[in-house]
Structure 1
Amino acid sequence: MEMAERLQKLRRKAGYSQEQTAELLGISRQAVSKWESGQGKPDLDNLACLTEIYNTSADYILSGIEKNMETPVPEKSGLSPEVRKMLCSLAVIAGTALVIPFLSGCIYSHNYDKNGNEMDREQVEETIDDTIENIKDMPNFL
């Protein structure tokens, strides 16, 4: 069986018309017709798409031989990108949950200075600003 015959057989087996196959590939129906009549052959991009559409290998389309070489599936190592993203999001949320109470503690505990003397509003605001600057200067601060 020639490649043209295999293409026609695969298309019919998949239940597609030439028009439907052409639409899936983004080409004209006439191009599909030429392949199936032996007047032309699909380029590599279309061949790759045909293997997906017809659920077969390029080896079978080109030569009629289906190679049953099992490719070992590599073991996954590490975390998937989705899991990594989720863990990063959780870390940001947890970090935020720790920083907010710390900052509010700074605000409320700084109504008094180190000697226990009550501070006025301007002194409290200055202490808060200093605390925020100290936090920003910490290594690895986001």
Structure 2
Amino acid sequence: MSSVPVYMINTLRSLRTKLGYSQNEAALMLGISVKTLQGWEKNAERIPYEKIKLIERVYKTPQNYIFFGKESAFSEILKKYKAV
């Protein structure tokens, strides 16, 4: 499994699919139910911090490059390009 370029990542779901994990596989690695993962992929604002850190380790991607709410490193990068 290769590293995913951070500029391509903007959601938890897109990161999971780019890494080639099914929802079942990802849920198992994260120690949660598939239903919980589905909820997080729809609304990541409710993910407990300790699970965010686990997602970061399992997905091998810094949390700042996964879209967790309205403000993220990805959205900040986009803002800079739009402002130019």
Q: TM-score, normalised by structure 1?
A: 0.39
Q: Structure 1 40/18 Cα, relative in aligned 2: closer, same or farther at 3 Å?
A: farther
Q: Deviation above 4 Å: which 4+ runs of structure 1?
A: none
Q: Which of 27, 47, 50 is the equivalent residue of 2:52?
A: 47
Partner Cα separation in structure 2 for residue 27 and residue 40 of structure 1: 16
Partner Cα separation in structure 2 for residue 6 and residue 39 of structure 1: 9
Deviation at 1:40, TM superposition (A): 5.8
Q: Which of 38, 47, 61 is the equivalent residue of 2:43?
A: 38
CA contact (8 A) 1:51 1:57 kept: yes
- One-letter amino acid of the structure 1 residue matched with residue 27 of structure 2: A
Q: Which of 73, 78, 82 is the equivalent residue of 1:65?
A: 73
Deviation at 1:64, TM superposition (A): 3.4
Q: Unaligned 5+ residue runs, structure 2?
A: 1-9, 75-84
Query: Between Structure 1 and Structure 2, how many residues are aligned?
Result: 63
Q: Greater Rg, structure 1 or structure 2?
A: 1
Calculate percent identity across the aligned residue pairs.
31
Deviation at 1:25, TM superposition (A): 1.0
Deviation at 1:39, TM superposition (A): 7.3
- One-letter amino acid of the structure 1 residue matched with residue 18 of structure 2: K
CA contact (8 A) 1:7 1:36 kept: yes
- One-letter amino acid of the structure 1 residue matched with residue 49 of structure 2: L
Q: Structure 1 64/39 Cα, relative in aligned 2: closer, same or farther at 3 Å?
A: closer
Cα RMSD for the two superposed structures: 2.3
Deviations 1:3-37 (A, max 9, x none): xx610000001111111111011110000000112
Question: 1:13 aligned to 2:18?
Answer: yes
